[in-house]
Structure formats: C-alpha cells, structure tokens
C-alpha cells in the first residue's frame, strides 16, 4: 500500500510543480548538410504563467566530433535587448551561455526563442546529433527539460518530489 501512495504522491507533486513553475526549456530540432551551418533555437515553451527574464545562464552540451560552436545570436530573440550576452566554449563540446539585462525585464507570456546558437556541421557528420541544456541559472532555473525534473539531472526521482514539495509549500529543510 505504501508503494502506491508514494507513486501517486510523485505523480500529483510533479503535476503540481509543472503548473507552478509553468515552463520548459527546449532545444528545437534542425537539419543541415555536412560542412554547412545551422542555427539552433533554444526556446522557452509550455508557458503557464508570465515569466520575467533579466538574467539567465545555461550550459549547452554537444558532440564536438560532429559540430563546431560558432556563436550565440540574440537578433529576433527574447535576449535581443540584453546588455550582456556571451557564449564561450569552455571545453570541447560544452558552451556556457550567460546573459543580463540591466533595466526592465522581458516579460514572457507565450512560447518564445530565448537565444539562437550557431554551429558548423563537420564534413564527416553522422546523423542524428543531439544537444542538451544543463546547469540552468537565474530566471530560467525553474525550467524543466523533462516535466517534473526539478533538479535537472535528466530523470524523475524521489529527490524531484522533495524539491517540488519544498517549493510549493515553502518548507525549510533546515527547520
């Protein structure tokens, strides 16, 4: 009986957390030709409530044997008016992207492109090539790549339930 209660609690908590935090970060699929260039949109999707964004950061992980990072592009994105926006390849296959806006935040009420990332496809690329976004910071930290993945580790576990319960009930684990 306890097993069923825990499973139902997990499902209900994840459903509630999705409604409270109300958005996900998504890497939109694109196609390209070997040796060519692609621009990959990083999007905020499934917007449930208005989000104010004036600072954000994340790490983009990609297969460096198939892609070469070129630059971050803010034209026609939510970050177009950011004062600071930088993408830097810290090590092969890992780009750290950080951005800040020093005046009024951007209010997001519908699915939108946060930023575009440009890559060159290597001549010997093998398809498909996958990308993932990790280490979410600041205003996009509550975003989930997987619904209910509160700690952004790529899978749903009891830890996610605990984090969701703490956030929706304002529990302080130190008390």
* pTM passes above 0.75: no
pLDDT of residue 25: 77
The residue ranges of every structural domain in the chain are 1-22+143-175, 23-141
Residues 91-101: pLDDT tens digits?
A: 999 999 988 88
Query: CA 61 → CA 8, 23, 35, 65, distances in Å?
Result: 33, 21, 20, 12
Residue scoring higher pLDDT (164 or 117): 117
The answer to whether 38 and 118 have CB atoms below 8 angstroms apart is: yes
CATH number for 23-141 (one of 3.40.50.10420, 3.90.930.60, 2.60.40.680, 3.40.1190.20): it is 2.60.40.680
């Amino acid at each position: 009986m306890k097993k069923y209660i825990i499973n139902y609690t997990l499902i209900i908590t994840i459903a509630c957390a999705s409604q409270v935090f109300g958005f996900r970060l998504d890497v939109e699929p694109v196609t390209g030709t070997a040796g060519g260039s692609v621009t990959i949109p990083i999007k905020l999707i499934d917007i449930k409530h208005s989000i104010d964004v004036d600072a954000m950061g994340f790490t983009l992980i990609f297969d460096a044997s198939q892609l070469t990072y070129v630059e971050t592009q803010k034209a026609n994105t939510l970050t177009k008016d950011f004062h600071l926006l930088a993408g830097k390849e810290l090590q092969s296959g890992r780009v750290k992207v950080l951005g800040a806006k020093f005046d009024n935040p951007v209010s997001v009420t519908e699915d939108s492109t946060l930023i575009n990332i440009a890559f060159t496809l290597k001549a010997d690329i093998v398809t498909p090539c996958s990308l993932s976004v990790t280490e979410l910071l600041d205003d996009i930290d509550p975003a989930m790549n997987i619904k209910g993945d509160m700690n952004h580790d790529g899978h749903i576990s009891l830890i996610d339930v605990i984090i969701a319960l703490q956030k929706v009930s304002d529990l302080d684990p130190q008390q």
